């Protein structure tokens, strides 16, 4: 397996189909569009017979020397999508995995996709299969031109070769490598031979899909050759470190004088949560020096005068919690479920209220979840090089660990006035993204500094800035009222979520789908039900976090399901089995029952908990075993995880994503929180943000359910069940029901 430079190069010019084939050195290239913004676009064969232009952000290329290259427009941040997407193409192209070369180049960022929402494979499975199959059939057509026989049944394709056998014996048997056919396959005559419907490989004949093939990014990440954003160094580069106002919403009163050891001190325009620059509003300064360490130390000691907003006192954890409690009781809700109800909301509320009054047993509980930082291992950073024609700005290159190359182009355009064709974006490997590196604040600041100093610059956020100026997972206060009938089935369900809105902060009015994700369309029968959301207008920026709303609502939903099971006097598995509404979820639950059979013979002082949740189309059930509780922690011994994610492209990648998501979810549930006092973040490094140590890692088993359904998301769905499964186990172990996360507030990393 060969991989091109581990970065994604984007330029903004459109590519003419005819010209695209010419520039591919006589080989065969199939340009195609992958889904952008939720739109699934069909593969489009590129070739001389195709009229008009096409914007290309992904392609498969077969060169005359037999090299098969796949290339994509997303970001590789450890989720394995670069390999998974190529695996899909290679399956339909009928090449062995060791014949594939992956080039992370982009021909056009205008259609490059944002990496997020666990969508890399799920949204591109169909288009990529079609693209690979189209390339395969064009190669077969190239062979047909050589033999003159256009009977498709006389040709076989395997391992990067096309074989021909005439059943009548009129023509000799022949075999070609793909490289021998590439030029002919790119001709108009070959395109004319394409079948009206491109045949796809039946799932029962898959040779690569479903196999644990080696991920192509791993060798570079283990031998030190992988390039992350922090690894970028350019000739003549200077180094900048950002310093924000410590108080959220604070602005620069005046630019401080440049210390003698610094090259420059540059005021940086603030941007809103949509990435738009706020005119004449500066919320940070960048200290520029000849190395990052020097810039950091100068920034740390630099005295800066800030102007604080009048709302500072209300940007406070205690004030926000009080406001949420008031809104829980009196806030005006938006109805999320039932969807677009025919009766008036008041009638639905009355129906649920009457069902609660008629219930044999009623359980009411309120759940609280804190703000959470992303805390990616690699801090935010961005390198920028400007090109000049005399005194006029002519071009801009950006190197950054980013999840959205198109947004980077827009940011650069807004700041420089350059057209998109003058901008090149290099997306490096990401040392964690988790939704934070979709944002544009760090990109904007680096471009502003480069414009000010007119030199190549690398801008870095220190860890303290990363924690204190994040766009956090929202806090939430959720109340659930549920009733059981005489048969221990749920007869009433009233669910109200009070939380800030990610989408409203980004200019989208109305019901925030992120706020109710994981609270609606559940796999449980709930009788008369009502799910509401009340916006919480807190002054803290919020953003996309791994599994976002599902990680919030699953805690409340699955904790309540266990409370109902206890009220019914039933085993948590048995109770769920009685209210589950579909076979797919039931199969996952039953498999989790089998895979966690160990729970039936646990030693004294051990307990287990269960939770199941669907997010991004994937159902995950987790059973957690714990022991040895203390005032600051509990030992998590093992986790049995069962996942139904549709067709499994690479089981090894799925297992790794489940393990990583479980640890992420456990960290957040055990210790994760961000608190604020008068607008100032109280956790600014890992010493006050406890993380699981290597010695504390539980044993995790992952079982992947067989499926013929299209693939669904895998990067995030392991996170939501982790917190409620842990809380349910903790209640079983200690008799104490934790309804407000984290389980252990204020825990630190000790001597770190």
Q: 519 with 615, same domain?
A: yes
| 147 located within any domain | no
Report how far residue 432's alpha carbon sits from residue 204's, in angstroms, rounded to the nearest whole number: 35
Q: 303 with 449, same domain?
A: yes
Half-sphere exposure of 470 (CA within 13 A, CB side): 31
Report how far residue 288's alpha carbon sits from residue 305's, in angstroms, rounded to the nearest whole number: 18
Instruction: Tell which wins on pLDDT, 404 or 642.
Output: 642
Domain of 107, CATH number, reads 3.30.365
Name, in order, each residue with C-beta under 8 angstroms of 38's C-beta and a sequence gap of 6 or more: 123
Amino acid 216: pLDDT: 87
How many structural domains are present in the chain?
3
The CA angle 380-73-214, to the nearest 5 degrees, is 90
Amino acid 104: pLDDT: 66
Report how far residue 643's alpha carbon sits from residue 614's, in angstroms, rounded to the nearest whole number: 10
Which range marks the domain in which residue 587 is found? Answer: 318-372+472-734
Report how far residue 249's alpha carbon sits from residue 526's, in angstroms, rounded to the nearest whole number: 42
Report how far residue 145's alpha carbon sits from residue 181's, in angstroms, rounded to the nearest whole number: 10
Q: Which of 219-223, 472-476, 746-750 has the highest mean pLDDT?
A: 472-476
Strand order in the sheet with 392-400: 7-10, 423-428, 392-400, 381-389, 457-460, 238-244, 277-289, 264-271
Domain boundary among 172, 188, 223: 223
- DSSP state for residue 371 in the 8-state scheme: B
Residue of 114, 206, 100 whose CA lies nearest to 651: 206
| 190 located within any domain | no
| 101 located within any domain | yes
Domain boundary among 460, 482, 516: 460
3-class secondary structure for 257-324? CCCCCCCEEEEEEEECCCCCEEEEEEEEEEEEECCHHHHHHHHHHCCCEEECCHHHHHCCHHHHHHHH
Residue of 678, 676, 668 whose CA lies nearest to 747: 668
Phi first, then psi, for residue 594 (nearest 5°) are: -70, -45
| 245 located within any domain | yes
Amino acid 258: pLDDT: 97
| 467 located within any domain | no
Q: Helices 125-147 and 178-185, interaxial angle, to 10°?
A: 90
Amino acid 213: pLDDT: 92
Q: 60 with 9, same domain?
A: yes
Amino acid 273: pLDDT: 63
> 247-281 pLDDT, tens per residue?
999 999 999 999 999 999 999 999 876 667 788 89
Given a cut of 50, is residue 58 above it in pLDDT?
no
Lowest model confidence (mean pLDDT) among 269-273, 295-299, 675-679: 269-273
Q: Which of 187-201, 332-346, 644-658 has the highest mean pLDDT?
A: 644-658
Instruction: Tell which wins on pLDDT, 104 or 554.
Output: 554
Report how far residue 543's alpha carbon sits from residue 501's, in angstroms, rounded to the nearest whole number: 9
Given a cut of 90, is residue 71 above it in pLDDT?
no
Which helix (H) or strand (E) element contains residue 652?
helix 651-671
Q: 558 with 665, same domain?
A: yes
Q: 560 with 439, same domain?
A: no
Report how far residue 569's alpha carbon sits from residue 743's, in angstroms, rounded to the nearest whole number: 25
Amino acid 279: pLDDT: 80
Q: 97 with 130, same domain?
A: yes
From its phi and psi, is residue 157 left (phi > 0), alpha (psi between -120 and 50) or beta? beta
Report CA-CA distances (Å) from 14 to 11, 151, 420.
9, 37, 10
Average pLDDT over residues 70-97: 88
Number of residues that make up the chain: 752
Structure-token pair, residue 643: 């996942």
**CA dihedral (101, 107, 110, 111) positive or negative:** negative
Report how far residue 328's alpha carbon sits from residue 322's, in angstroms, rounded to the nearest whole number: 10
Amino acid 1: pLDDT: 31
| 694 located within any domain | yes
Q: 260 with 282, same domain?
A: yes
Q: 688 with 646, same domain?
A: yes
Q: 418 with 544, same domain?
A: no
Report how far residue 100's alpha carbon sits from residue 120's, in angstroms, rounded to the nearest whole number: 19
Average pLDDT over residues 606-620: 98
Q: 92 with 8, same domain?
A: yes
48 within 8 A of 21, measured Cβ to Cβ: yes
3-class secondary structure for 132-176? HHHHHHHHHHHHHHHHCCCCHHHEEEECCEEEECCCCCCCCCEEE
> 319-351 pLDDT, tens per residue?
999 999 999 999 999 999 987 667 788 888 899
Average pLDDT over residues 596-607: 98
Average pLDDT along the chain = 89
Q: 563 with 432, same domain?
A: no
> 489-504 pLDDT, tens per residue?
999 999 999 999 999 9
From its phi and psi, is residue 575 left (phi > 0), alpha (psi between -120 and 50) or beta? alpha
Q: 551 with 426, same domain?
A: no
720 within 8 A of 659, measured Cβ to Cβ: no
| 679 located within any domain | yes
Average pLDDT over residues 353-381: 97
Report how far residue 621's alpha carbon sits from residue 616's, in angstroms, rounded to the nearest whole number: 14
| 179 located within any domain | no
The structure's pTM equals 0.91
> 134-165 pLDDT, tens per residue?
889 999 999 999 999 999 999 999 999 999 99
60 within 8 A of 135, measured Cβ to Cβ: yes
Report how far residue 420's alpha carbon sits from residue 409's, in angstroms, rounded to the nearest whole number: 6
Domain of 276, CATH number, reads 3.30.365.10
Lowest model confidence (mean pLDDT) among 36-45, 116-125, 285-294, 478-487: 36-45
> 416-449 pLDDT, tens per residue?
999 999 999 999 999 999 999 999 999 999 999 9
Phi first, then psi, for residue 410 (nearest 5°) are: -65, -40
Domain boundary among 460, 488, 508: 460
């Amino acid at each position: 397996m060969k991989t091109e430079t581990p970065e994604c190069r984007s330029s903004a010019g459109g590519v003419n189909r005819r010209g695209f084939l010419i520039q591919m050195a006589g080989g065969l290239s199939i340009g195609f569009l992958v889904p952008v913004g939720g739109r699934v676009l069909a593969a489009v064969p590129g070739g001389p017979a195709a009229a008009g232009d096409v914007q290309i952000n992904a392609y498969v290329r077969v060169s005359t020397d037999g090299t098969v290259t796949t290339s994509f427009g997303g970001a590789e941040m450890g989720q394995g999508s670069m390999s998974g997407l190529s695996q899909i193409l290679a399956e339909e192209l009928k090449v062995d995995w060791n014949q594939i070369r992956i080039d992370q180049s982009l021909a056009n960022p205008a259609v490059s996709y944002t990496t997020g929402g666990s969508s890399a494979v799920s949204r591109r499975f169909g288009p990529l299969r079609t693209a690979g199959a189209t390339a395969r059939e064009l190669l077969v057509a190239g062979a047909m031109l050589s033999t003159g026989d256009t009977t498709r049944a006389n040709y076989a394709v395997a391992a990067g070769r096309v074989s021909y056998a005439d059943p009548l014996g009129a023509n000799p048997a022949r075999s070609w490598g793909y490289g021998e056919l590439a030029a002919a396959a790119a001709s108009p005559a070959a395109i004319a031979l394409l079948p009206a419907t491109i045949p796809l490989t039946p799932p029962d004949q898959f040779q690569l899909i479903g196999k644990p093939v080696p991920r192509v990014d791993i060798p570079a990440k283990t031998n030190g050759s992988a390039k992350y954003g922090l690894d970028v160094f350019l000739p003549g580069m200077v180094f900048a470190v950002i310093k924000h106002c410590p108080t959220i919403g604070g602005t620069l009163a005046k630019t401080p004088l440049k210390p003698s050891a610094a090259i420059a001190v540059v005021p940086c325009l603030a941007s809103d949560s949509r990435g738009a620059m706020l005119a004449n509003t500066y919320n940070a300064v960048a200290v520029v020096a000849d190395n990052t360490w020097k810039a950091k130390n100068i920034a740390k000691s630099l005295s800066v005068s800030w102007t604080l907003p009048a709302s500072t006192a209300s940007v406070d954890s205690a004030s926000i919690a009080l406001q949420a409690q008031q809104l829980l009781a009196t806030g005006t809700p938006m109805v999320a479920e039932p969807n677009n109800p025919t009766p008036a909301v008041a009638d639905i509320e009355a129906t649920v209220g009457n069902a609660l009054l008629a219930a044999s047993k009623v359980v009411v509980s309120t759940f609280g979840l804190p703000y959470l930082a992303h805390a990616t291992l690699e801090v935010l950073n961005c390198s920028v090089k400007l090109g000049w024609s005399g005194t006029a700005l002519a071009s801009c290159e950006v190197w950054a660990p980013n999840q959205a190359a198109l947004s980077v182009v827009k940011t650069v355009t807004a700041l420089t006035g350059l057209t998109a064709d003058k901008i090149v974006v290099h997306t490096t490997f990401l040392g964690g993204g988790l939704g934070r590196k979709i944002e544009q604040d760090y990109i904007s600041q680096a471009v502003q500094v480069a414009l000010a100093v007119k030199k190549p610059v690398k801008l870095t956020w220190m860890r303290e800035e990363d924690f204190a100026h994040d766009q956090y997972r929202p806090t939430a206060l959720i109340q659930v009222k549920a009733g059981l009938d005489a048969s221990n089935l749920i007869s009433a369900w009233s669910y109200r979520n009070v939380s800030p809105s990610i989408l409203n902060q980004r200019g989208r009015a109305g019901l925030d789908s992120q706020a109710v994700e994981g609270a609606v369309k559940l796999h449980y029968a709930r009788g008369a039900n009502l799910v509401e959301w009340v916006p919480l207008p807190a002054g803290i920026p919020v953003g996309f976090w791994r599994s976002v709303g599902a990680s919030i609502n699953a805690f409340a939903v699955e904790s309540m399901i266990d409370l109902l099971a206890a009220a019914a006097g039933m085993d948590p598995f048995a109770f769920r089995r009685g209210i589950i509404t579909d076979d797919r979820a039931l199969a996952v639950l039953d498999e989790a029952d089998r895979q966690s059979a160990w729970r039936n013979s646990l030693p004294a002082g051990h307990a287990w908990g269960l939770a199941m949740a669907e997010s991004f189309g994937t159902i995950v059930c987790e059973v957690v075993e714990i022991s040895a509780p203390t005032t600051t922690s509990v030992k998590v011994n093992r986790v049995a995880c069962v996942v139904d994610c549709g067709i499994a492209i690479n089981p090894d990648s799925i297992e790794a994503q489940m393990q990583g998501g479980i640890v992420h979810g456990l960290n957040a549930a055990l210790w994760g929180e961000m608190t604020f006092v008068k607008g100032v973040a109280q956790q600014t490094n890992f010493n006050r943000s406890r993380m699981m140590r290597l010695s504390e890692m539980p044993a995790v088993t992952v079982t992947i359910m067989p499926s013929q359904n299209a693939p669904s998301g895998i990067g995030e769905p392991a996170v939501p069940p982790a917190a409620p499964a842990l809380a349910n186990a903790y209640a079983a172990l200690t008799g104490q029901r934790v309804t407000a996360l984290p389980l252990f507030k204020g825990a630190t990393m000790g001597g770190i």
